[in-house]
A = this chain, B = another copy of it.
Amino acid sequence: MKTVELAGGVGGAKLADGLASAGDAADLTVIVNTGDDFEHLGLYISPDLDTVVYTLAGLANPETGWGRSGETWHFLETLRALGGPDWFHLGDKDLALHVERTRLLAENWPLGRVTEHLARRLGVRSGIVPMSDDRVRTIVESENGPLPFQEYFVARRCSPAVRGFRFEGAAEARPAPGAVEAIREADWVVLGPSNPWVSIDPILAIPGIRAALEEKTVVGVSPIVGGRAVKGPAAKMFAELGIEPSALAVGRHYQGVIKGLVIDIADQRQEAAIRALGIEVLSTAALMTTAMDRRRLAHDVVKFASRLADGSAG
Interface centre among A76, A78, A85, A91 (most CB of B within 10 A): A78
A77: which B residues are within 8 A, CB to CB? 93
A103 touches B42 (CB 8 A): yes
Pick from B41, B82, B92: contact of A78, CB under 8 Å: B92
A3: chain B residues within 8 A (beta carbon): none
What is the total number of copies of this protein in its complex?
A: 2
Per the 8 Å Cβ criterion, residues 112-152 of A in contact with B are 117-118, 121-122
A78:B93 contact, CB within 8 angstroms: yes
Interface magnitude class on chain A: 20 to 34
CB distance from A99 to the nearest CB of B (A): 5
Q: Report whether B100 and A79 are in contact in the complex, using a CB–CB cutoff of 8 Å.
A: yes
A1 near B: Cβ within 8 Å?
Answer: no
Closest to A123 in B: B81
Of all chain B residues, the one with the shortest Cβ separation from A106 is: B42
A96 touches B79 (CB 8 A): yes
| A96 contacts across to B, CB distance below 8 A | 74-76, 78-79, 81-82, 84
Whole-angstrom distance between the Cβ of A34 and the nearest chain B Cβ: 19
A173: chain B residues at CB < 8 Å are: none
Given the complex of chains A and B, what is the CA–CA distance between A95 and B118 in angstroms? 21
In chain A, positions 56-92 with a C-beta closer than 8 Å to chain B are 72, 74-79, 81-85, 91-92
A residues adjacent to B (C-beta < 8 A): 41-42, 72, 74-79, 81-85, 91-93, 95-97, 99-100, 102-103, 106, 117-118, 121-122
